[in-house]
Amino acid sequence: MTETPRQLAENSRVQMTQAIIGLLEGLSPKQVSEKLEIPSTRISRWQKDPAFRELYDEVEAELLAQVKSEAAEMISARLDYLGPAAVAVLEEGLKAEKMSDRLGAAKAILAFKGVGKTPREATNAHRVVSIEAKIRQRAVDVSPAAGD
């Protein structure tokens, strides 16, 4: 069965995208052509084509956005996990033996509450404290009950 011009164009775009991904992964044009089982001259021709370069930029931007999104999710999850421990450290700091340590902890807590900040800074700090409180409560909610 012979492919229609539209099918040929779609297959070519798929191959181009696969070639771009291979190039972005660090493969040489020769390795990409071997992997995709297409002539290496086709890769060379594509690399000179402005449409290919435009598609390359699109694919690269999509992959970069995906990586950034995944990294942000991992960082957010880690901060959610560490938040209660950080608050506990500040609470312990308030009980420290040395006055300078207690003052340091108190200053940090007041800074989080927004004392001495502009209204906008204070609002943002209040949001952080509110989120930390929710994180602490969630940790309490999921911890096993004593004696279970």
In whole angstroms, give the CA distance from residue 53 to residue 75: 33
In a domain, 147, yes or no: no
pLDDT for 61 equals: 92
Mean pLDDT value of segment 89-99: 89
- pLDDT (0 to 100) of residue 115: 62
- The continuous run of DSSP H or E covering 67 comes out as helix 50-93
Across the range 103-107, mean pLDDT stands at: 86
Positive or negative torsion for Cα 10, 12, 18, 23 = negative
**136 and 121 in one domain?**
yes
Q: Is the pLDDT higher at 103 or at 140?
A: 103
What residue numbers bound the domain in which 83 lies?
73-142
- Looking at the structure, do residues 46 and 83 belong to the same domain, yes or no? no
Whether residue 61 is found in the same domain as residue 95:
no
In the chain, how many domains are there? Answer: 2
* Tens-digit pLDDT profile for residues 11-53: 788 899 999 999 999 999 999 999 999 999 999 999 999 989 9
Residue 40 lies inside a defined structural domain of this protein: yes
With a cut of 70, say whether residue 106 has pLDDT above it: yes
Shared domain check, 61 and 79: no
pLDDT digits (tens, 9 = 90+) for 50-88: 989 999 999 999 988 988 889 888 888 888 888 788 888
Same domain, 60 and 79: no
Residue type, 48: K
Q: Which of 3-17, 66-80, 93-107, 133-147 has the lowest mean pLDDT?
A: 133-147
Residue 94 DSSP code: T
